[in-house]
Amino acid sequence: MDLYTLCLVAAFAPLAGAAAAGFLGWKLGRTFAHTVTILSVAVSLAASLVIFGKVADGATLDQTVYTWMTGENWRLQVGFLIDRLTVTMMVVVTFVSLMVHVYTIGYMADDPGYQRFFAYISLFTFSMMMLVMANNFVQLFFGWEAVGLVSYLLIGFWFKRPTAVYANLKAFLVNRVGDFGFLLGIGFVFAAFGTLDYAPVFQAAPRYAQMLVEIVPGSEWSLVTVICIGLFIGAMGKSAQFPLHVWLPDSMEGPTPISALIHAATMVTAGIFMVSRMSPLFEMSQAALSFVIVIGAITAFFMALIAIVQTDIKRVVAYSTLSQLGYMTMALGASAYSAAIFHLMTHAFFKAVLFLGAGSVIIALHHEQDMRKMGGLRKYMPITYATVLIGALANAGLPPFAGFFSKDSIIEALHLSATPGAGFAYALALAGVFVGGLYSFRLVFFAFHGKERFAEGGHGHDEHAAGHDDHSSGKAVASGDSHGHAPHETPWVVTLPLILLAIPSVFIGWFAIGPMLYGDWFGKAIVPTATLAEMAKHFHGAGAMVVHAFTSLPFWLALGGAATAWYLYIVRPDLPAIIKAKSGFLATLLERKYYFDEFNDWFFAGGARKLGHGLWLWGDRTIIDGIMVNGTAKAIGWFAGVARRTQTGFVYHYAFTMIIGVFGLLTWMFWRAGG
């Protein structure tokens, strides 16, 4: 098969699978649903791997599939751009997706919505493939919104839970705020370049470097900066960057497999991918890069802090995801696009491991997510424990695990970058490493070591009770029967994906760092930048990097974080409560997540509702309908009522009126003739 046909197969096989499971699944049953979707995603992975091989040999593709629409002097299309950036994403997406498909067989085994779930995740895979394979902004936007749609459907998968349907609406609307910026960014591209295909836009971009647009009268902005900031606002929604991060923690209301696939490994990294894809544009605007790096730094550090106080195992991983996305964003801002993509890839593997491992624990404990009711699981679930430990080591960025290579490269990039704000980002990134070590190992020690708390009934440890009230409903029911017997390891459909994802979490960094960061793997797909050239001077191979790490600050910070976690949760488990009591407002601030949700609910959601109600009541009902419309009707009615009195029915009244009228008329005529 030629490259183009392979691309069609890779993109559309999951769509076919989703359609089959969605339309026929209810009739043909569960086995059919998971078989057909897993097959379709496996086909997509196989095709992606073949494409990967061909592209590694130097092939590229930029081809139209069909023309979507034409207008006065433009043509919008659906098409594929296949280069090394695309194939990297394709393989990551389809691989993690396949693992999650297999895992789902175990995780959703007793769920009545089994077939629907498989249809959704295959549809997601299709949407994500369309997003990464696009060769133009329209298709990018299609994929962008389509993954948002599937995310909406999957967060609200258990649609009976009020918390789930609150979370999915919130996720969709917050993403729409980002998409609003994204759409305006695309609009500026279209207005300036007259096309929405990547290749001609990137080619023409340098000619627009000096172009200015007037946004606010009197102040002119660089066109490219406006475009980049618009596009990046879209990325802030999808990749959950401060202050549009608020939807991601709530998205944990969805089943765990999709938390791994959509809200950790793939969809949330769409923003990172998009900015890397747009590197020719972003490289032209220091201001935009500065904006990116500051947003990334704030997200990376402040979201990591929240992870320390969470007690829901999925939420810890969710805040860790936010923090890691912040690292990727910082790398983008530092012009180290390939470092961002590299971290995206390693993160996809180790974060999927952490989520799926958390899911494995959750099923073993019959849908218990509260870490205060775990502990000591290590000996009951050895495979889950080992894989989660690998995930945590990688997440903390300890050598020689995959996360080390990518995180360390990002920190190095921040150190060397010339982007304004890089110093600020560098400081927060280093601080974030310590926090990362702390929350990663807090999870490991809290859930898998120490006292076995899963047999205890009720809320024994009330020191963490606050901040937990918003997601406990609906889940507490299932944990009832878990108290009788000890938890045991989950079936192979769950552990096999864990193992297969843990392997790259250990090794992929070692192999990939050379070609991806310092070789010419990305070729022309990503613009070469000064930051990367500078980094390359300091790079002497993966082995040397590991050796060097033991004398570098990030390593000791991460280790310090891990040691702190060990001290707090193994040596002195009584300490966290004491610290929390002493820290007062600070602890509350973290547990209330900086009060973002409260503010948004009050100001944006509440404000819009109040404003809408006010406009309706006063604008539509009182002024337009009450005064203008019905008022006019009443005025006519009143006038008619007055006029009716003249219709007395007496002839002499009419005659008298007529005489007066004639007299008046004659007077007027004579007066006019005389004057």
**The two structure tokens encoding residue 322:** 């936010």
Q: Which stretch binds other proteins (CB under 8 A): 29-37, 143-151, 200-208, 281-289?
A: 143-151
Q: What is the 3-state secondary structure (H, E, C) of 225-284?
A: HHHHHHHHHHHHHHCCCCCCCCHHHHHHHCCHHHHHHHHHHCHHHHHHHHHHHCHHHHCC
8 Å CB contact between 354 and 320: yes
- Binder among 117, 118, 124, 188 for other proteins (CB under 8 A): 188
**Going residue by residue from 601 to 630, which x/- string records binding to other proteins, judged by CB under 8 A?**
-------xx-xxx-xxx-xx---xx--xx-
Residue 179 touches other proteins, criterion: CB under 8 A: yes
Q: How far is the CB of 140 from other proteins (least distance, A)?
A: 10
Q: What is the dihedral of CA 306, 247, 345, 52, to 10 degrees?
A: 180
Site for other proteins contains 24 (CB under 8 A) = no
Check residue 477 for interaction with other proteins (CB under 8 A).
no
One-letter-per-residue 3-state SS of 49-107: HHHHHHHHCCCCEEEEEEEEEECCCCEEEEEEEECHHHHHHHHHHHHHHHHHHHHHHHH
Q: Name the nearest CA neighbour of 555 among 334, 356, 396.
A: 396
- Give the pair of three-digit tokens for residue 607: 């404000």
38: left (phi over 0), alpha (psi -120 to 50) or beta: alpha
Position among 118, 141, 242, 404 found at the interface with other proteins (CB under 8 A)? 141
Q: What angle do CA 490, 440, 175 make, to 5 degrees?
A: 90
187 lines the binding site for other proteins (CB under 8 A): yes
Min dist. Cβ of residue 473 to other proteins (A): 11
Nearer residue to other proteins within complex by CB, 213 or 563: 213
- How far the first Cα of the chain sits from its last, in Å, is 99
Q: Indicate whether 176 belongs to the interface with other proteins (CB under 8 A).
A: yes
Size of residue set near other proteins by CB under 8 A = 52
Q: Is 67 in the site for other proteins (CB under 8 A)?
A: yes
Q: How far is the CB of 165 from other proteins (least distance, A)?
A: 4
Residue type, 357: G
Binding to other proteins by residue 267, rule CB under 8 A?
Answer: no
- Is there binding between residue 283 and other proteins (CB under 8 A)? no
What separation in angstroms does the CA of 546 have from each of 117, 346, 401, 405, 440? 42, 16, 10, 8, 20
Cβ distance to other proteins smaller for residue 187 or 560: 187
Report helix, strand or coil for 134.
Answer: strand
Of 183-191, 201-209, 260-268, 398-406, the segment contacting other proteins by CB under 8 A is 183-191
**Interaction between residue 3 and other proteins (CB under 8 A):** no
Closer Cβ to other proteins, 254 or 357, answer by number: 254
Choices 89-97, 136-144, 485-493, 557-565 (CB under 8 A): range interacting with other proteins:
136-144
Q: Which stretch binds other proteins (CB under 8 A): 84-92, 135-143, 258-266, 461-469?
A: 135-143
**Is residue 187 classed exposed, middle or buried when 0-12, 13-18 and 19+ CB atoms within 10 A define those classes?**
middle
Does 124 sit near other proteins (CB under 8 A)? no
CA distance 266 to 260: 8
What's the min distance (Å) between Cβ of 640 and other proteins?
Answer: 15
**What's the closest the beta carbon of residue 421 comes to other proteins, in angstroms?**
26
User: Which of 42, 91, 146, 478 is the binder for other proteins (CB under 8 A)?
Assistant: 146
Closer CB to other proteins, residue 72 or residue 469?
72
Q: How far apart are CA 220 and CA 190, in angstroms?
A: 19
Q: Can residue 142 be called a binding residue for other proteins (CB under 8 A)?
A: yes
Tell whether residue 68 is a contact of other proteins (CB under 8 A): yes
Among 27, 160, 645, 672, binds other proteins (CB under 8 A): 160
Residues forming a β-bridge with 79: 64
SS3 520: coil
Question: For every residue of 215-241, which 3-state class applies, written as one string?
Answer: EECCEEEEHHHHHHHHHHHHHHHHCCC
Of 231 and 396, which CB lies nearer to other proteins in the complex structure? 231
| Segment interacting with other proteins (CB under 8 A) among 45-53, 179-187, 310-318, 542-550 | 179-187
**Binding to other proteins by residue 50, rule CB under 8 A?**
no
Binding site for other proteins (CB under 8 A): 66-73, 138, 141-142, 145-146, 149, 152-153, 156, 159-160, 162, 165-166, 169, 172-173, 176-177, 179-180, 183-184, 186-188, 190-191, 213, 215, 608-609, 611-613, 615-617, 619-620, 624-625, 628-629
